Chains A and B, each alone.
Chain A
Amino acid sequence: MSALLRLALASAWNRRLALSLTLVSIMLAALLLLGVARVRQDVRDSFSASVSATDLVVGPRGSGLSLMLYTVFHIGDATQNMDWRSAQWLAAHPAVAWALPVSLGDSHRGFPVLATQSAYFQRFHYGDDQALQFAQGHAFGDVFELVLGSDVARAQNYKLGDKVVLTHGSGANIGAEHADKPFTVTGVLQATGTPVDRTLFISLAGMEAIHLDWQAGAPMPGVSIPAQYVKKFDLTPKTVTAVMLGLKSRAQVFAMQREIAAYKDEALMGVMPGVALDQLWEVAQLGERALMFVSLAVAVVGLAGLVATLLAGLDARRRELAVLRSVGASPRRILLLLLLEALTVTLLGTLAGWAALCAGLWLGGPWLQANYGIMTKAFTASGSEWLLVGGMLLAGLVAGLIPAWRAYRLSLADGLTPRL
């Protein structure tokens, strides 16, 4: 066997150019296949880690998906708000342990601003029921105080005590700056790998204060209320975007959902985050499946290349096979020789692809997280990844059977004198 291995290596080295090109194509196929699997897993993980411990998200009746999109992911704009009295009703409901009203709509240099109560920093949990932690400072207290997610602080290089001016609107509907009422940074949160990192937090009163002299999304002409006088006004919000609820008992979720739907003063709905996330994930899965399909197709192309290379090489190697037969190699050994070659190239290619993926994620991971909020793990291999590696090797072995079988037939037919 070791004699065969040495021969196989020497023979492969002799054809190293063609084989290394094949190896590269298998490496790229493995890289793509494993990369899609890895990123899919990581996206899914960060996705479902984005909210935890919240039993219901309540908002104006409409699409549950878009309610989740703007309350949890801070993407898009709420078309409709709910009345403050409804929020108060929810907070006072006997089944409710805690209620966090949230208001969205403003932004800062592309990062969304979320107005809420300071209890948010204790109540809002992410991942595996993890609480938010302050890296520096503390929650907002006063009207014009502000807490930053870690990405915002890093990207804008903000420190505690810095003044931050918010912008009215977000995304495409961006408006004027609230330049007359800057906020002071009092706290920076630790990184969570969730949309929290990309968000600025202010109090509901702060949100109300910057809009005192505004109407219908624009500053009122001729009216300007300086920052130092805002406290003379009632800063209780009239409306909020949504309310996140924690119930005293999870068993009450469905009863609460029904009660919210039946609420008389306003058309509301309560959405379970898990269910809505699953719905959202199903949408994402369409693209993910397409990606997986493409990478599988690439793997097939890579292996087809291997088969083609080995088959094309066989004709040139008939003399070699005949010589091997004459010095005692049985046709079965020749079959083994070809199989060994296919398997080795597949193995090396797949391992190289895996190594390239790890290296790529190690180098590009911070960028992925900064730009897309996807937390990736560079040096891991999940069970499904090993399954893919195993599948790749098995496919390589099966593909190798084609040239190996042909070599077997050839060496049986040719014997010691190849008919060329």
Chain B
Amino acid sequence: MSTRTPVVELSDLVFSWPRQRAACLDLAEFSLTPGEDVFLHGESGSGKSTLLALLAGVLLPQQGVVRLLGQNYDDISSARRDRLRVDHIGFIFQQFNLLPYLTVLDNVLLPCRFSARRRTQSKDAHATAERLLTHLDLDRSLWARPATALSVGQQQRVAAARALIGRPELLIADEPTSALDAARQVGFLNLLRSECAASGAALLFVSHDQRLAAHFSRVVSLPQINRAGGIGEAA
């Protein structure tokens, strides 16, 4: 991976939701270089989730270009976008990341089931999953248990292991710490950063909580770069 090619980049992007006249997002430029860790800040309703959906290729902008590893989303089919996404991006959401009917280990292995690339990259997927879970301080006794048997903090660490397996180039974390208490937030954050550093993944950490910004090498405020003035999505 050349350091010159951004992991993800967008330029001159305008996006508005259907049946809304005003644009939701209007961004001149935003990008992440490989291995970079960025804190994206914005209040709820500022269009953060919309931006993430655009970066992930789930939504397409009305104007402008979004590229993942140099590939313009607009040039490829939705099926290709789905494949590209799972091949190169790991996700951690606010909560309820896990499928309740799978064990902890099977949840971690999910991306390898859908992506040949992630499967190949992780070599022995099982061993890799076990190594990640151990790294993230999840005891072996929990691995075979259903995901719902875990505490919220534990679930978030399982989600992190799942996002990291198969070494995706980008890790998108959407408010991953907001369900955790303050003491655990920093612990989880550090864990996430060190794991991303270890696997060489760029980290886009999205939160409304500005206190966390200090832990990142770059901080971007969405309201400041959004020329549309941040008319958020419906939710």
Q: Footprint of B on A, CB under 8 Å?
A: 3, 6-7, 10-11, 13-14, 319-320, 322-332, 415-417, 419
A416 touching B110, Cβ below 8 Å: no
B79 touching A332, Cβ below 8 Å: yes
Tell me which residues from 78 to 110 in chain B have a Cβ below 8 Å from any Cβ of chain A: 78-79, 82-83, 85-87, 91, 93, 96-102, 106, 110
Beyond contacts A10-B99, A415-B58, A417-B52: 6 other A-B pairs, Cβ-Cβ < 8 A, are A7-B99, A10-B102, A319-B96, A323-B97, A327-B162, A330-B78
Give a binary string over B52-94; 1 marks a CB under 8 Å from any A CB, 0 the rest: 1100101100000000000000000011001101110001010
The stretch that binds A, out of B111-119, B122-130, B180-188, is: B111-119
Contact of A3 among B53, B82, B113 (CB under 8 A): B113
A325 touching B162, Cβ below 8 Å: no
B82 touching A329, Cβ below 8 Å: yes
B111 touching A328, Cβ below 8 Å: yes
B111 touching A417, Cβ below 8 Å: no
Contact of A328 among B97, B99, B115, B174 (CB under 8 A): B115
B82 touching A330, Cβ below 8 Å: yes
A323 touching B59, Cβ below 8 Å: no
A417 touching B53, Cβ below 8 Å: yes
Give the tally of cross-chain contacts (CB within 8 A).
72
Instruction: Return chain B residues, CB-CB under 8 Å to A324.
Output: 99
Query: In the complex where A3-B114, A10-B102 touch, is A326 in contact with B78 (Cβ < 8 A)?
Result: no
Q: Footprint of A on B, CB under 8 Å?
A: 49, 52-53, 56, 58-59, 78-79, 82-83, 85-87, 91, 93, 96-102, 106, 110-111, 113-115, 162, 174, 234-235
Contact of B91 among A6, A7, A326 (CB under 8 A): A326
Instruction: Return chain B residues, CB-CB under 8 Å to A329.
Output: 82, 114
CA distance A7 to B106 in the complex (A): 10
A14 touching B110, Cβ below 8 Å: no
Secondary structure of the A contact surface, majority rule: helix
Instruction: Return chain B residues, CB-CB under 8 Å to A320.
Output: 99-100
B79 touching A330, Cβ below 8 Å: yes
Query: In the complex where A330-B78, A417-B49 touch, is A323 in contact with B58 (Cβ < 8 A)?
Result: no
Shortest A133–chain B CB gap in Å is 62
CA distance A325 to B52 in the complex (A): 14
Instruction: Return chain B residues, CB-CB under 8 Å to A417.
Output: 49, 52-53, 93, 174, 235
Interface centre among A7, A10, A13, A417 (most CB of B within 10 A): A417
CA distance A341 to B134 in the complex (A): 35
Instruction: Return chain B residues, CB-CB under 8 Å to A419.
Output: 234-235
Instruction: Return chain A residues, CB-CB under 8 Å to B53.
Output: 415-417
Instruction: Return chain B residues, CB-CB under 8 Å to A322.
Output: 93
Contact of B58 among A7, A14, A416 (CB under 8 A): A416
Contact of A325 among B58, B115, B235 (CB under 8 A): B58
B86 touching A328, Cβ below 8 Å: yes
CA distance A243 to B101 in the complex (A): 75
B101 touching A13, Cβ below 8 Å: yes
Shortest A340–chain B CB gap in Å is 15
A323 touching B86, Cβ below 8 Å: no
Instruction: Return chain A residues, CB-CB under 8 Å to B78.
Output: 330-331
CA distance A417 to B58 in the complex (A): 10
Query: In the complex where A417-B49, A417-B53 touch, is A327 in contact with B110 (Cβ < 8 A)?
Result: yes
Instruction: Return chain B residues, CB-CB under 8 Å to A328.
Output: 82-83, 85-87, 111, 114-115
Shortest B200–chain A CB gap in Å is 20
Query: In the complex where A330-B79, A415-B58, A417-B93 touch, is A14 in contact with B100 (Cβ < 8 A)?
Result: yes
CA distance A60 to B182 in the complex (A): 103
Instruction: Return chain A residues, CB-CB under 8 Å to B85.
Output: 326, 328
Closest to B100 in A: A14
Instruction: Return chain B residues, CB-CB under 8 Å to A332.
Output: 79
CA distance A48 to B11 in the complex (A): 82
Contact of B98 among A10, A323, A416 (CB under 8 A): A323
Shortest B222–chain A CB gap in Å is 16
A326 touching B93, Cβ below 8 Å: yes
Closest to A417 in B: B49
B115 touching A323, Cβ below 8 Å: no
A416 touching B52, Cβ below 8 Å: yes
Instruction: Return chain B residues, CB-CB under 8 Å to A7.
Output: 99, 113
CA distance A141 to B119 in the complex (A): 89
CA distance A52 to B64 in the complex (A): 85
Instruction: Return chain B residues, CB-CB under 8 Å to A11.
Output: 99, 101
Shortest B110–chain A CB gap in Å is 4
B101 touching A327, Cβ below 8 Å: no
